[in-house]
């Protein structure tokens, strides 16, 4: 299915050339959805911008364009309005025919991209031996959604979990494990070392208070880096246990991701340093090997370096990130690498990308993008914490969302005098709770800080997951009541638009392709949320004004098609946000 915007753009290009000559080939017609439905469906704003170069008034330019513009297959005759807007209204038969094509297509009329790219989405990235907490929420949810959109567009997506599985903190963890839990290191042991957070805290406390322990920990780091068997075994035990805990969260959130932690790049780090050195970029500064980059200064106003190798010879995360860039572009063949990491690391990525560019490690056409997001804050506007001031564990956060969703559901079941099974309540509460957490996060512009509120995300009204799930459930209610099988509607079924609310719904449905293009390019899932919320609103208005099952034929079938297309669009759109729907709630 050819998108409406593509077709219109092509027609405008021809008209512009016909009116003003071939030197204007490829001029952007500045087509966009109208700001107000009374202006039609699309407006072209280019006449105003051509006024100066063409030395003519915008309305005259607009009328010259319109004279040469042939959009009669799609639109009513164009109208010129205001200072020189060209307003286009799609023809009813065109709308109907487009909707029909969408409804019959599992991809809803959106073809995969012609040239798929290898896209890496780097997201989530918790630390081994620490539990996933609220700080991992946004990267995990936003990253998953971005990956889903790229996948749907037809790109070849590699989802990478750059877990923190290396570094100096492993010294104390290994030492503590060896001493507190030696059984775990037996040959085929699968001893559960219990609460990893408590374990981490114990190790940290000993490290801070016991000098002998500190010394043994430093030795353990050296042993681990040297590939010592015992240290390696201990490290693996810690990684395995953490991985199992992470997986529980990912399973619950419906997220797939491939682990490729920092340790993966260890063998490649020396080469990074060597290459930078060979190229003359490496400078020794206060005992460390660093690269100075342009445009960054520290507190004292001195040039800010990127530390590649510490004075003790160890590597740090900048080195790992550089090695990852090389591996991802060379071995993985990535053309686009998206780092879904909090905005606090903007500086770091700017430095790393600049060094990679200087070193010639970013091939032509390869795009490295930091996709930043703001911090999660409590309703007081401060950093989101528990009442006792602890970091909120992701598991607890999800549990609370689900239990609140369950309480709401039980209240309503009681109030409505319904009888529902425990398994129904369980499933609905889990889905609504998880969906609400995801949607609340995704529906906001990711770059701003995010004020976390259970009450708001679980609200039954407004721009929330429950509101949208309910719109979907309403369609399913129609099919249940009317015994409708949406997969087997008669071939001769046709969409005929009559009521204003049908037109509004129809026009909105046809904008799906434009929204997805935009989200795939600009990586703002909140635009998709906005689209789906508006779709739900328009569906509810239609539902309110137009009866479906009681309508006479052929109106009844036409409306059934509209309902089905709405449900399919909601389901697809929500799935690209990582949100699952319910048949009943």
Partner RNA sequence: GGGCCAUUAGCUCAGUGGAUAGAGCAACCGCCUUCUAAGCGGUCGGUCGCUGGUUCGAGUCCAGCAUGGCCCGCCA
Indicate whether 451 belongs to the interface with RNA (CB under 7 A): yes
How far apart CA 337 and CA 121 sit, in angstroms, is: 6
Q: CB 210 → RNA: shortest distance, Å?
A: 19
Nearer to RNA, 307 or 516 (CB): 307
Considering only residues 320 through 359, tell me which ones interact with RNA, judged by CB under 7 A: 320, 343-348
Q: CB 129 → RNA: shortest distance, Å?
A: 12
Q: CB 87 → RNA: shortest distance, Å?
A: 5
Indicate whether 427 belongs to the interface with RNA (CB under 7 A): no
How far apart CA 235 and CA 238 sit, in angstroms, is: 5
Q: CB 562 → RNA: shortest distance, Å?
A: 11
String of contacts with RNA for each residue 482-511, x by CB under 7 A: x-----------------------------
Tell me which H or E stretch contains 323. helix 317-330
Indicate whether 421 belongs to the interface with RNA (CB under 7 A): no
Choice from 232, 266, 541, 575 touching RNA (CB under 7 A): 541
From the list 221-229, 353-361, 389-397, 466-474, the region that binds RNA by CB under 7 A is 466-474
Beta bridge partners of 90: 75
From the list 35-43, 65-73, 205-213, 392-400, the region that binds RNA by CB under 7 A is 35-43
The strands making up 258-259's β-sheet, listed across from edge to edge, are 258-259, 156-161, 118-122, 336-340, 367-371
Nearer to RNA, 184 or 520 (CB): 520
Nearer to RNA, 299 or 387 (CB): 299
The strands making up 288-297's β-sheet, listed across from edge to edge, are 283-285, 288-297, 303-309
Q: Where does residue 569 rank: exposed (0-12), middle (13-18), buried (19+ CB within 10 A)?
A: buried
Strand pairing class (288-297; 283-285):
antiparallel
Considering only residues 126 through 145, tell me which ones interact with RNA, judged by CB under 7 A: 127
Nearer to RNA, 116 or 477 (CB): 477
CA dihedral (20, 25, 27, 32) positive or negative: positive
Q: CB 69 → RNA: shortest distance, Å?
A: 15
Query: For residue 540, which phi and psi values (nearest 5 degrees)?
Result: -65, -35
Give the other-Cβ count within 10 Å of 288's Cβ. Answer: 17
How far apart CA 186 and CA 209 sit, in angstroms, is: 28
Six-digit token string for 218 = 């430093």
Q: Is 249:132 a contact under the CB 8 Å cutoff?
A: yes
Choice from 81, 268, 489, 493 touching RNA (CB under 7 A): 81
Nearer to RNA, 162 or 233 (CB): 162
Secondary structure letter of residue 86 according to DSSP: E
Nearer to RNA, 185 or 257 (CB): 257
From the list 18-26, 113-121, 128-136, 161-169, the region that binds RNA by CB under 7 A is 161-169
Where do runs of H (alpha helix) occur along 443-548? 454-457, 465-482, 500-509, 512-522, 525-545
Q: In angstroms, what is the C-alpha Rg of the chain?
A: 29
Nearer to RNA, 74 or 157 (CB): 74
Choice from 9, 24, 27, 33 touching RNA (CB under 7 A): 33
Indicate whether 200 belongs to the interface with RNA (CB under 7 A): no
Considering only residues 258 through 297, tell me which ones interact with RNA, judged by CB under 7 A: 262, 285-288, 290, 297
Indicate whether 425 belongs to the interface with RNA (CB under 7 A): no
Indicate whether 417 belongs to the interface with RNA (CB under 7 A): no
Nearer to RNA, 28 or 192 (CB): 28
Secondary structure letter of residue 182 according to DSSP: G
Q: Which of 343, 287, 291 is nearest to 318 (CA)?
A: 291
Indicate whether 301 belongs to the interface with RNA (CB under 7 A): yes
Indicate whether 172 belongs to the interface with RNA (CB under 7 A): no
Q: CB 462 → RNA: shortest distance, Å?
A: 2
Considering only residues 217 through 246, tell me which ones interact with RNA, judged by CB under 7 A: none
Indicate whether 528 belongs to the interface with RNA (CB under 7 A): no
Give the other-Cβ count within 10 Å of 92's Cβ. Answer: 14
Choice from 68, 266, 477, 496 touching RNA (CB under 7 A): 477
Choice from 316, 555, 575, 580 touching RNA (CB under 7 A): 316
Strand pairing class (367-371; 376-377):
unpaired
Indicate whether 169 belongs to the interface with RNA (CB under 7 A): yes
Number of residues that bind RNA (CB under 7 A): 107
Q: DSSP string of 15-45?
A: HHHHHH-GGGTT----EEE-SSGGG-SEEE-
Give the other-Cβ count within 10 Å of 284's Cβ. Answer: 10
Six-digit token string for 265 = 């790049």
């Amino acid at each position: 299915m050819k998108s409406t915007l593509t077709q219109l753009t092509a027609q405008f290009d021809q008209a512009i050339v016909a009116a003003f000559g071939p030197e204007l080939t490829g001029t952007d017609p500045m087509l966009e959805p109208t700001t107000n439905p009374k202006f039609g469906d699309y407006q072209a704003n280019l006449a105003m911008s051509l006024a100066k170069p063409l030395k003519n008034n915008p309305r005259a330019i607009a009328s010259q364009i319109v004279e040469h513009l042939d959009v009669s297959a799609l639109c009513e005759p164009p109208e010129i309005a205001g200072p020189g807007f060209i307003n286009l209204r799609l023809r009813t038969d065109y709308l109907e025919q487009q909707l029909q094509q969408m409804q019959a297509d599992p991809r809803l009329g959106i073809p995969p991209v012609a040239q798929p790219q290898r896209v890496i989405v780097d997201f989530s990235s918790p630390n081994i031996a620490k539990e996933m907490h609220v700080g991992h929420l946004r990267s995990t949810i936003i990253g998953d959604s971005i990956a889903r959109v790229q996948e749907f567009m037809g790109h070849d997506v590699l989802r990478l979990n750059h877990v923190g599985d290396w570094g100096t903190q492993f010294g104390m963890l290994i030492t503590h494990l060896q001493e507190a839990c030696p059984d775990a290191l037996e040959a085929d042991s699968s001893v559960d070392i219990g609460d990893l957070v408590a374990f981490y805290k114990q190790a940290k406390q000993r490290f801070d208070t016991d000098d002998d322990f500190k010394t043994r920990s430093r030795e353990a780091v050296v042993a681990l880096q040297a590939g010592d068997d015992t240290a390696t075994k201990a490290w693996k035990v810690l990684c395995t246990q953490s991985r199992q805990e992470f997986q529980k969260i990912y399973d619950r959130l419906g997220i797939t991701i491939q682990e490729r932690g920092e340790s993966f790049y260890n063998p490649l780090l020396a080469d990074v340093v060597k290459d930078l050195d060979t190229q003359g970029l490496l400078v020794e500064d206060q005992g460390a090997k660093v690269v100075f980059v342009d445009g960054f200064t520290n507190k004292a106003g001195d040039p800010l370096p990127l530390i590649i190798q510490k004075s003790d010879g160890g590597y740090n995360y900048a080195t790992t990130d550089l090695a990852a860039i090389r591996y991802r572009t060379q071995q993985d063949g990535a053309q686009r690498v998206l780092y879904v990491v909090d905005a606090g690391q903007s500086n770091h990525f700017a430095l790393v990308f600049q060094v990679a560019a200087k070193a010639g490690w970013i091939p032509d056409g390869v795009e490295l993008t930091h996709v930043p997001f703001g911090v999660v804050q409590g309703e007081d506007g401060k950093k989101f914490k528990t009442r006792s001031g602890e970091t909120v564990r992701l598991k607890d956060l999800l549990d609370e969302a689900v239990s609140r969703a369950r309480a709401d559901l039980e209240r309503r079941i009681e109030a409505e005098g319904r009888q529902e099974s425990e398994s129904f309540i369980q499933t609905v509460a889990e889905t609504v709770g998880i969906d609400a957490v995801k949607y609340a996060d995704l529906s906001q512009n990711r770059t701003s800080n995010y004020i976390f509120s259970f009450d708001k995300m679980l609200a039954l009204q407004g721009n929330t997951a429950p509101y949208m799930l309910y719109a979907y459930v309403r369609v399913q209610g129609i099919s249940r009541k009317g015994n409708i099988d949406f997969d087997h509607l008669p071939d001769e079924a046709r969409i005929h638009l009559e009521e204003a609310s049908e037109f509004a719904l129809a026009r909105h449905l046809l904008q799906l392709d434009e929204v997805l293009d935009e989200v795939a390019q600009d990586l703002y899932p909140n635009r998709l949320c906005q689209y789906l919320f508006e779709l739900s609103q328009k569906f509810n208005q239609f539902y309110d004004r137009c009866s479906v099952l009681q309508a006479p034929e052929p109106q009844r079938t036409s409306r059934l098609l509209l309902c089905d297309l709405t449900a399919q669009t909601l389901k697809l759109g929500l799935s690209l946000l990582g949100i699952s729907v319910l048949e009943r709630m």
